[in-house]
Amino acid sequence: PVIFVLNGPNLNMLGTREPEIYGTTTLDDIAGMLEDRALELGFEIDMRQSNHEGHLVDWIQEANASGARAVLINPGAYTHTSIALHDAIKGVSIPVIEVHLSNPHAREAFRHVSYVGQAAKGSIMGFGAQSYMLALDAAARI
């Protein structure tokens, strides 16, 4: 079974992007960690990143249509703006888990609303790259 891991805008810059907030682990590093853990759990990871909102909508629909087990999504800043992502998640039957490296609730007020979190099965945030690993473990247990 496949678990999609979708990453939104600016997450391609991980490693050099505001390392005091997001750490120095790159998205490729995270992909490697997830693949190792998925192998242990008996899953396959399909990891993607886009800076474009519509790609993320398309991929949520594709995950559902292709019979994937779950979607992990770090929507980046679209977390706080995207009713399109909220609707996409509401419109599919597979579980979608929201993931963040930082804890948006402990940051600026504009990060305190999550349209994605309001549609997601659950949310894991604030544990850096480990947030993705915890979300994978959660997805594997659903």
Query: DSSP string spanning the chain?
Result: -EEEEEE-TTGGGTTTSSHHHH-S--HHHHHHHHHHHHHHHT-EEEEEE-S-HHHHHHHHHHHHHTT-SEEEEE-GGGGGT-HHHHHHHHT-SS-EEEEESS-GGGS-GGGS--TTTTTSSEEEESSTTHHHHHHHHHHHH-
CB of 42 to ligand DQA, least distance (A): 27
CB of 89 to ligand DQA, least distance (A): 15
Nearer to ligand DQA, 2 or 77 (CB): 77
Quick check: is 22 catalytic? yes
Nearer to ligand DQA, 71 or 101 (CB): 101
Q: How far apart are CA 14 and CA 94, in angstroms?
A: 28
- Within 86-125, which residues bind ligand DQA (CB under 6 A)? 100-102, 104, 111
- Within 23-82, which residues bind ligand DQA (CB under 6 A)? 74, 76-77, 79
Q: How far apart are CA 59 and CA 103, in angstroms?
A: 25
CB of 95 to ligand DQA, least distance (A): 19
Active-site residue among 78, 86, 100, 115?
100
CB of 93 to ligand DQA, least distance (A): 25
Quick check: is 132 catalytic? no
**What's the length of the chain?**
142
Active-site residue among 22, 78, 115, 132?
22
Residues labelled catalytic: 22, 100
Query: Which residues contact ligand DQA by CB under 6 A?
Result: 10, 74, 76-77, 79, 100-102, 104, 111
